[in-house]
A = this chain, B = another copy of it.
């Protein structure tokens, strides 16, 4: 079985409620996003999907978030823009753009020491 991973980043603002129930001040991050797709075989060119195509699809999704305040976006009206929810929203959007391979996971790294991954397993 083959898995392919491409990465990209977007820079955005957000504010969320932390575990003590307090609303953080507005701040921001560079979110590094890794998208992993799986395929059981390769095509005649030896690819599951061309890296360039997968990156282009991921960019299409991330362009909606880059240089934005996530807390103002419709996608996060009913759920907080935490890394968990950001990963889940990107998963849904990217999945709808893919054919010929299945989306395995979206990982969202908020800082070098904190990341969240969403899968449908």
A114–chain B nearest beta-carbon distance, Å: 4
By size class, the interface of chain A is: 35 or more
Number of copies: 6
Q: Is A16 an interface residue (CB 8 A)?
A: yes
A51–B5 CB distance below 8 A? no
A18–B80 CB distance below 8 A? no
Which of chain A's residues 47-84 have a Cβ closer than 8 Å to chain B? 47-53, 55, 66-69, 79-84
Which of chain A's residues 104-121 have a Cβ closer than 8 Å to chain B? 110-121
Residue positions of A touching B, CB distance < 8 A = 1-9, 11-14, 16-19, 24-30, 42, 45-53, 55, 66-69, 79-85, 87-88, 110-121
